[in-house]
């Protein structure tokens, strides 16, 4: 193999040839044993080095891009998740219409300035209350209250009150109502009278209402059965 023309093509050619040669080499080891090593031109090697460098840079760049892409995708995914967690956009807008307000404000301010200049000439103290950007007006009726965090204490207190109530008024305490007591007094006394709920007009209202209803129902039933 003699000297060939310099140039890329040459090197490519050389590569192809070398490959062929290599193949030949393996196939016919004996024949090219004595041949001299191939001559590699400077240009060739420079080109080769350049290429490998380019390749390296390319791969690096590609990797970086891939990483960046990955990161971007993850970021988007998180944003998506976050958005899904939040309330729908219209509710948020109601509560926090600041971006809109900011626009409105700038318009308003322009108007106000114009108005104020006129206004000030007339009256000295027209107060136009400007809404600061930090103010929030909530549409509808919302109330803010502190949460009283004494749940456990309340439970214990309730238990204590129940204990006392069951001890003093619960089963086994043998207490009767005022109605019973006074009715018995009425019936056993010297001037015997009716039970107290019939004597006093405003006692036992609920029982009287129930009795009225029952009477009405009974009368109705009687009428139905007779008719």
**Nearest to another protein of 136, 150 (CB atom):** 150
**Nearest to another protein of 26, 191 (CB atom):** 191
Interface residues with another protein (CB under 8 A)?
153, 156-157, 159-161, 163, 167-169, 172-175, 177-178, 181-182
* DSSP helix, strand, coil percent of the chain (3-state; round to 5): 65, 0, 35
Q: Measured between alpha carbons, how far is residue 177 from residues 30, 49, 103, 181, 206 in Å?
A: 128, 110, 71, 6, 15
Q: Do 30 and 54 contact (CB within 8 A), yes or no?
A: no
Kindly state the smallest distance separating residue 157's Cβ from another protein, in Å. 5
Look at residue 148 and give its three-state secondary structure.
coil
**Nearest to another protein of 110, 209 (CB atom):** 209
Residue at token pair 């109530």: 165
Which are the contacts of 39, defined by CB distance < 8 A and separation ≥ 6? 3
Kindly state the smallest distance separating residue 169's Cβ from another protein, in Å. 6
**Nearest to another protein of 86, 159 (CB atom):** 159
Kindly state the smallest distance separating residue 122's Cβ from another protein, in Å. 31
Kindly state the smallest distance separating residue 138's Cβ from another protein, in Å. 25
Kindly state the smallest distance separating residue 118's Cβ from another protein, in Å. 35
**Nearest to another protein of 51, 173 (CB atom):** 173
- Distance, in Å, from the CA atom of 205 to the CA atom of 189, rounded to the nearest integer, reads 25
- Distance, in Å, from the CA atom of 94 to the CA atom of 108, rounded to the nearest integer, reads 20
- Distance, in Å, from the CA atom of 182 to the CA atom of 196, rounded to the nearest integer, reads 6
């Amino acid at each position: 193999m003699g000297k060939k023309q310099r140039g890329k093509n040459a090197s490519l050619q050389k590569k192809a040839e070398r490959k062929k040669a290599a193949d030949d080499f393996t196939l016919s080891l004996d024949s090219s044993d004595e041949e001299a090593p191939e001559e590699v031109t400077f240009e060739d090697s420079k080109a080769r080095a350049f290429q490998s460098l380019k390749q390296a840079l390319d791969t690096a760049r590609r990797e970086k891009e891939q990483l960046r892409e990955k990161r971007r995708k993850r970021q988007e995914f998180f944003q998506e998740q976050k958005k899904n967690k939040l309330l729908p956009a219209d509710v948020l807008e109601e509560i926090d219409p600041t971006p809109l307000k900011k626009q409105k404000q700038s318009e308003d301010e322009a108007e106000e300035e114009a108005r104020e200049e006129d206004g000030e000439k007339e009256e000295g103290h027209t107060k136009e209350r400007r809404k600061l950007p930090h103010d929030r007006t909530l549409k509808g009726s919302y109330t803010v209250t502190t949460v009283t965090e004494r749940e456990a204490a309340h439970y214990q207190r309730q238990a204590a009150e129940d204990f006392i109530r069951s001890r003093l008024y619960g089963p086994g305490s043998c207490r009767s109502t005022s109605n019973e007591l006074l009715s018995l007094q009425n019936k056993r006394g010297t001037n015997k009278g009716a039970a107290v709920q019939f004597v006093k007009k405003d006692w036992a209202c609920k029982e009287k209402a129930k009795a009225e209803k029952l009477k009405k129902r009974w009368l109705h039933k009687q009428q139905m059965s007779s008719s």
